[in-house]
Amino acid sequence: MSASLLRIAARGPSSALFRTVVARPQPIAVRAAVAVPKTFSTSMRMRSEHAEETFEEFSARYEKEFDSVQDVFELQRNLNNAFAYDLVPSPAVLAAALRAARRVNDFPTAVRVFEGIKAKVENKGQYEQYLAELKPLREELGIELKEDLYPEEAN
């Protein structure tokens, strides 16, 4: 590095190259004219142009999403999105997710689907109903439950 470049860097920015912007206080009349939202939130309200989605439309959309999964990233992203809603996905959606996990050869994610179901349902009875509904598919695809894999950790 040349000595002149070091001197310029040590001096800091030159007033000829950089112009400083000074914030000038606004008059009171201008500040009052600025529109202030009437809610306590500091963020803008999100407006959706889409109508509310029914459970059947949600299920059909995610079945289609899982049918088109091509890699593990897409599978896990779709599962995260499906489980992010304030509802438990239908057995048909979960069956499509399990088939997608098999198609991309991702056994751990298939096991985690059942952990997600267990976390989302309201009680153990609902979890048992999901297990009963998906049992033939689990046996067909060879998917074990975490409770079966690690019985000492089962609660």
Residue 2 counted as domain residue: no
Q: Two tokens at 150?
A: 């690690």
- Listed residue (101, 124, 115) closest to 153, CA to CA: 115
Residue 146 counted as domain residue: yes
pLDDT recorded at residue 153: 73
Which distant-in-sequence residues (6+ apart) come within 8 Å of 104 by Cβ?
Answer: 69, 70, 71, 72, 75
Instruction: State the DSSP code for 34.
Output: S
In total, how many domains does the chain have? 1
Residue 94 counted as domain residue: yes
Q: Which residues of the chain have pLDDT under 50?
A: none
Q: In whole angstroms, give the CA distance from residue 55 to residue 87.
A: 9
Q: What is the pTM (predicted TM-score) of this model?
A: 0.65
pLDDT tens digits, one per residue of 24-47: 666 665 555 555 555 555 555 555
Average pLDDT of the chain is: 80
Structural domain including 135 reads: 55-153
> Which CATH number fits the domain that encloses residue 126?
1.25.40.40
Residue 95 counted as domain residue: yes
